[in-house]
Amino acid sequence: MTTKAIAPPELATLEIEIDGRIGIMTLNRPDSLNAMSPEMIGELTLAAAWLADTAPIRALIVTGNGRAFSSGGDVTWFKRGIEDPDHDLPSEVRRGADVLHQAIVDFRRLPYPMIAAVNGPAAGAGLSLALSCDFRIASDQAFMAIAYGRIGASPDGGMTYFLPRVVGSAKALELALDDPNLTAREALELGLVGEVVPADELMPRAREKAEKLAVMAPHYVRTAKALLHESMDNSLSDHLQLERHGIADSMATEDLRRGVTAFLAGEKPEFEGD
C-alpha cells in the first residue's frame, strides 16, 4: 500500500518545502524585506498549525527570501490607519497581534527542532520570530534590532518573553531601551545566535544542523523541548513530576529499545519515531 505524500499548504507570502525529514519555511515578501503584512501574519498561523500537527518532518529551517530575514511589522499597514481618521487602527492591530501570537504559540508546539537561518536583517516581529526558534544561525551579513521603540510601538510577537530567557532580564531591558543595530558578531557575543557563518554557507550549515537533529529519537526531542520550555514557569516538585512521566513514557517506545540495544552492542542506533 502506497502512503500518500502530505503536501504543505499553498501560501502567497510563505513558501514551505519538504525535503525528506527536513522542512524549510521561507518568508516570501522580498520586495518589502519580508515585512509582516496582515496576509503574512494570517498565513503564519496556517503554516504553524500545519507544521505542528501534520508535517511529516523532524526538523524545520526558517529563513527569508532575498536580503532580509524579516524587517518586522509592515509599517505601511500602520500608515494607512494613521492617515484615515475613521480607521480604528488599535482594534485592527489588536486583532493582528492575536493572530500572530497564535502562530508563535503553535511554532512553540512543534515536536521537533526549529532553526532560524538569519540571512539578513531581523527586526521587530522578525526578531521575535527568530527568538522563538530553538536555534539561530546567522549570516555574517545579518543584523538584529528590536526596533519597536523607533516608531513608538510596544513590542509583540513574544519579544519580551523570549529575549529575557535568551540574554537575561537586565540585558534584555538594556537592549530594548538602547535599541542598537547588532551585527551578527555582536549578536553572537550576546548569545542571541549560536553561530555566525559566511553568507554562502548559511543554508548548507542550517541544513547540516537540521540533519543532525533529525536523526535523534523523536520522543526524546519532543519531551526535552517541552520540559526545558516549561522549566522556568514550574516549581521544582511539579517539574520533577513531568520529568518522571517523561522518562517513564520513553520506556514504552520502540526507539528506546533500539537505543539500548545499539548502546550495549557498541553501535549507533537508527531511531524511527515509534
* 54/117 Cα distance (integer angstroms): 22
What does 34-70 look like in DSSP terms, one character per residue? T-B-HHHHHHHHHHHHHHHHT---SEEEEEESTT-SB
pLDDT band at 41 (very low <50, low <70, confident <90, very high): very high
Give the pLDDT confidence of 62-78 residue by residue, as tens digits.
Answer: 999 999 999 999 888 88
Give the pLDDT confidence of 174-216 residue by residue, as tens digits.
Answer: 999 999 999 999 999 999 999 999 999 999 999 999 999 999 9
Looking at domain 14-214, its CATH superfamily turns out to be 2-enoyl-CoA Hydratase; Chain A, domain 1 (3.90.226.10)
Instruction: Give the start-to-end residue ranges of the domains of the chain.
Output: 14-214, 218-264
Residue 4: pLDDT above 70?
Answer: no
| pLDDT score for 3 | 43
Query: Half-sphere exposure of 105 toward its Cβ, with a 13 Å CA cutoff?
Result: 6
Residue 272: pLDDT above 50?
Answer: yes
The conformation of residue 8, written as its DSSP 8-state character, comes to P
Statement: the pTM of the whole predicted model exceeds 0.75: yes
Give the pLDDT confidence of 42-64 residue by residue, as tens digits.
Answer: 999 999 999 999 999 999 999 99
Q: Please give the distance of CA 222 from its chain centroid, rounded to a whole number.
A: 15
Q: What is the CA radius of gyration of the chain?
A: 20
The dihedrals phi and psi of 260, each to the nearest 5 degrees, come to: -65, -45
Sign of the Cα torsion 53, 54, 57, 62 reads negative
